[in-house]
Amino acid sequence: MDIALRMAPGVRRGTSPGLLASPLALVAALFALGLALRAWTFGDPNLFVDDDFYLLVGQQMHHGALPYVDIWDRKPLGLFVLYWLFASAGSGVLAYQIAAWLASTATG
């Protein structure tokens, strides 16, 4: 007897319905896992010293400072522009940490 005859109606061969059957459920599970792994770092400004400096440059750019003129570092301009965007969110350290969570989870 063919296995397709013994399967439940509506279930295709080679698939197994389960909790993460839909792509949306899988994405939601990945974001929840990423949040669970990174939530303990939210709000800690001493976690990575470089991130604090980049945020400082982004905040100073909002006050008219120019990278490589007023504040110097050898990183590319795009990094400072990215932290300028984070500084515009207004929540400081939490802004770039949430962005890091979203970016790392989205790559998964």
pLDDT digits (tens, 9 = 90+) for 59-103: 999 999 998 999 888 899 999 999 899 888 877 888 888 888 999
Q: What angle do CA 89, 30, 21 make, to 5 degrees?
A: 135
Asked whether residue 6 carries a pLDDT value surpassing 90, the answer given is no
pLDDT digits (tens, 9 = 90+) for 14-45: 555 565 668 888 889 999 999 999 888 898 88
Could you tell me the pLDDT band of residue 3, with boundaries at 50, 70 and 90? Answer: low
What's the mean pLDDT in 42-60?
Answer: 87
Query: Using an 8 Å Cβ cutoff, are 56 and 70 in contact?
Result: no
Predicted local confidence at residue 20, as pLDDT? 61
Residue 31 makes CB contacts below 8 A (sequence gap 6+) with 105
